Amino acid sequence: MRREGNDFNRTGMQSIKRKSAPFIVAIVGGSAAGKSWLADQLQNVLGDRAARLSLDDFYRDRSHLTPARRAHINFDHPRAIDWQSVERVLQDCVEGRATKVPIYDFSTHSRRAGTQRLQPRPVILMEGLWLLHRRSLRRMFSLSIYIDCPTGTRLNRRMARDVTLRGRTRESVRRQFTETVEPMHARHVLPQARWADIRLQTPIKKSDLRQLAELLIQKVK
Question: What is the average pLDDT value for the chain, to the nearest integer?
Answer: 90
Residue ranges and CATH numbers for the domains of the chain are 2-62+79-219 (3.40.50.300)
Q: Over the Cα atoms of the chain, what is R_g?
A: 17
On the question of pLDDT at 49 being above 90, the answer is: yes
CB atoms near residue 218 (< 10 Å): 9
- Which whole number is the average pLDDT over 83-107? 95
Residues 146/29, Cβ–Cβ less than 8 Å: yes
Please report the pLDDT score of residue 2 as a whole number: 56
Percentage of residues of the chain with pLDDT beyond 70: 91
pTM flag (> 0.95): no
Distance CA 160, CA 9 (A): 38
On the question of pLDDT at 42 being above 80, the answer is: yes
Higher pLDDT residue, 161 or 197? 197
Please report the pLDDT score of residue 6 as a whole number: 32
On the question of pLDDT at 8 being above 60, the answer is: no
Helix (H) or strand (E) holding 153: helix 151-165
Lowest mean pLDDT: which of 16-25, 64-73, 168-177, 207-216? 16-25
Please report the pLDDT score of residue 162 as a whole number: 85
Please report the pLDDT score of residue 16 as a whole number: 36
Lowest mean pLDDT: which of 27-41, 53-67, 71-85, 155-169? 155-169
